Amino acid sequence: MKNSSTMHSQLFPRGKTSLGVRDHSPLRFVRTLITRSGVRIVAAICVCAAIASMFMIQGMSQTFAAQAQAHTNWSFYMNSTSTSTAYNHGCVQGGADATYHDNSVVVLDFGGQLGNGSGSLMINGVSITNSQIEAVTENFSKGYWTCARNKGDTTTILDLGIGTNNSYQDVSQAGGAAWIKVVSTVQNYNKAKGYYAQVRMYAANDMEPGFGSASATINWVHGVTSISGLDYLNYGSADGCPQTSSSNGSCNNGWNQYDVWYVSNGPAQGHPIPEIYYPAQASQWAMLSLYGAQHQGRRMNIWGPLDEHDLASSTDTAAQAWSQLWTDVNSHSATKQSFSYSLEIHNE
């Protein structure tokens, strides 16, 4: 989702993929010669049972069990500069991770970057400066670290993304470089305070073909990767990309599969967390991973799906997003993988 003035492009639902035991041809009936000895009848029945058993075993070997869904972590569209609210959200996540003994990933979406590099425009139309973004994120980190440790947890890791998007003004190499400096500042603060033991910082971007050119978005990625030692997340979509082919097909707004693959997982620092709001999006990302395997030497490694069911009840639930993406990605031997995270976006 972009700023309130934008809308997602329409997606067409894919056909459903069934899971379970594959269909079998009917077993041939064994004609039994009935003789005076009832033993032969019993033996024939046993043979039939054995044959049926073998067919059942063969069928079971073709099934596969879906990976259990990870606990869903809440990400947020930020709409204030409140450090106390950020602390409280971080505290809730830290307490949950301590309870479940799970690592997590959270994105704080601060909207689109301002053209002068000074901050961003949040989804509610209010501007926030870079220094305010840093303060909010630092307090989220503090809340996580404090509340996890209050429950005796010193080992879980939160990957915390500072999010923007490619639909506003500063989608450029300079914009990416400015954004990664904000991330670096928070990372250094966390190290100084000791929070880095459990909170690791990432740049993040809701990159969507429908809202910005491929060349500008790629340049933003180049700006982010100009500082070594920090990774980034793409929690965007693949608007208009093919759902059934992986030969660098066209996507919306002049993008192609290569462009979406590149900004998501081309650089080693890139990690995709795709929006899965509808079944079609799962098919698109499965084809992007297959494109990587077939044409770029490696599959796309996906961290897990992001849904928006809390904000739009007609869209996929977290469980549906997980199931659809996992099923489609794992339907190809070249892209089989497990996911680590499940995310859902909320308003702050």
329 touches 286 (CB < 8 A): yes
pLDDT at 203 over 80: yes
Nearest alpha carbon to residue 11 among 206, 217, 251, 213: 251
In angstroms, the CA 271 to CA 204 distance is 9
Q: What is the pLDDT of residue 75?
A: 98
Interior/surface letters 192-215, b for 16+ CB within 10 angstroms, e for the rest: eeebbebbbbbbbbbbbbbbbebe
CATH of domain 72-347: 3.20.20
Q: What is the mean pLDDT of the chain?
A: 86
Q: What is the pLDDT of residue 109?
A: 98
**Percent of the residues in the chain that have a pLDDT greater than 70, as a whole number:** 82
Which secondary-structure segment (H or E) carries 209? none
Q: What is the pLDDT of residue 66?
A: 87
Q: Which two three-digit tokens encode residue 345?
A: 């976006």
Q: What is the pLDDT of residue 1?
A: 54
pTM score: 0.82
Q: What is the pLDDT of residue 48?
A: 42
Residue spans per domain, the chain:
30-60, 72-347
In angstroms, the CA 161 to CA 109 distance is 8
DSSP conformation class of 282: H
Distance of CA 338 to the CA centre of its chain: 12
